[in-house]
Amino acid sequence: MFFPLTNPIRFTKNSTLASSSVFPSIDNQLQRVEYYGDNKKLSYYKEFFAGKTLIFQYNNSASVTVTPYKDGAAQTTISATEITPSGWVSGKVFKHSITLTKGVWYFITDNGYTSDTIFVTDKIKNIVEISYFNSYNDFDTVFYSGTTKVFNPVNYFSGSFVEGIPFVEYGAYKSDENIEQKMRATSVREYAVNLFAVHKTLIASVIDMFNCDNITINGVECSNAVPTIENIEGVDCVNISAKLSQKTNNHRTR
């Protein structure tokens, strides 16, 4: 069984729970960012936004039962949907989806995999929403079954998304008479995205997310880009940034 890195949430193999309580002990979590609420001290790896649907997939010979755990909530299970495309030779592919409410969550499969803990917030400030998919099945991920899109995940991070100063990409050539001839002039609107305090174990997942050829950040469809990674001294987190240009840049206002 494997989980592709393009999932918004990471799963790892565990033989037992980290503690006998519902939530793993903070001593067994690497993330230094902590959530305080109702006199509880809970660590978490990343954020998600309340009211949005978390979707993830895995490859296995059969579907598994996934149990979401939320602090202070009754346990339920979420069932799988098979999305194996025709001709797929690496076993079967299944996806799970669940709409999350405010609180701290993690997930356990019935065959011994546990997700990282995520903090689900309803605070819009400093939250970056990234929707992404690829035009064809790649990165060990099924995005399409035939012509039907079956996997279009959304991810959330603490960070910022800032529009830069528009500029022009200018193309020209010089004739035999050394006269410059304009071939094109394209207006480009550039954005800077910054993801704050991303745990080091999630770097590969973020890179795969930016590798997808369709990426939308806070509602703006952007070209994909190679992110820059900056270590944060003293903690096991990094800041990740990238400069992206808007894909559709209309020459008009509404």
pLDDT, tens digit, 9 for 90 and up, residues 200-209: 888 999 999 9
Average pLDDT, the chain: 81
Q: What is the pLDDT of residues 149-169, one digit of tens each?
A: 999 999 999 899 998 777 666
d(CA 246, CA 163): 10
- Quick one: tokens of 62? 């059969």
Domain parsing of the chain, residue ranges: 11-163+189-245
* Neighbour-count burial of 245, counting CB atoms closer than 10 A to its CB (0-12 exposed, 13-18 middle, 19+ buried): middle
User: Would you state the torsion angle of the CA atoms of residues 34, 203, 142, 192, taken in this order, to the nearest 10 degrees?
Assistant: 90
Who contacts 9 (Cβ-Cβ below 8 Å, separation ≥6)? 46, 54, 56, 107, 115, 116, 118
CATH node for 11-163+189-245: 2.60.40.10
> What is the Cα gyration radius of the chain?
21
CA 9 to chain centre: 7
d(CA 217, CA 194): 11
Give the pLDDT score at 39.
43
Residue 33 has pLDDT above 60, yes or no: no
In the beta sheet, which residues pair with residue 113? 13
Which single residue is written with the structure tokens 């992404």? 132
d(CA 128, CA 48): 10
Give the predicted TM-score (pTM) of the model. 0.81
Q: Mapping DSSP to helix (H, G, I), strand (E, B) and coil, where does residue 102 land?
A: coil
Q: What is the pLDDT of residues 88-147, one digit of tens each?
A: 877 899 999 999 998 888 899 988 898 888 888 888 778 899 999 999 999 999 999 888
Q: 235 or 170: which carries more pLDDT confidence?
A: 235
Quick one: pLDDT band at residue 18, thresholds 50, 70, 90? very low
Q: Nearest Cα to 225, choosing from 237, 238, 209?
A: 209
Residue 191 has pLDDT above 50, yes or no: yes
d(CA 81, CA 58): 11
Q: Nearest Cα to 114, choosing from 198, 201, 226, 23?
A: 23
* 196 DSSP assignment: E
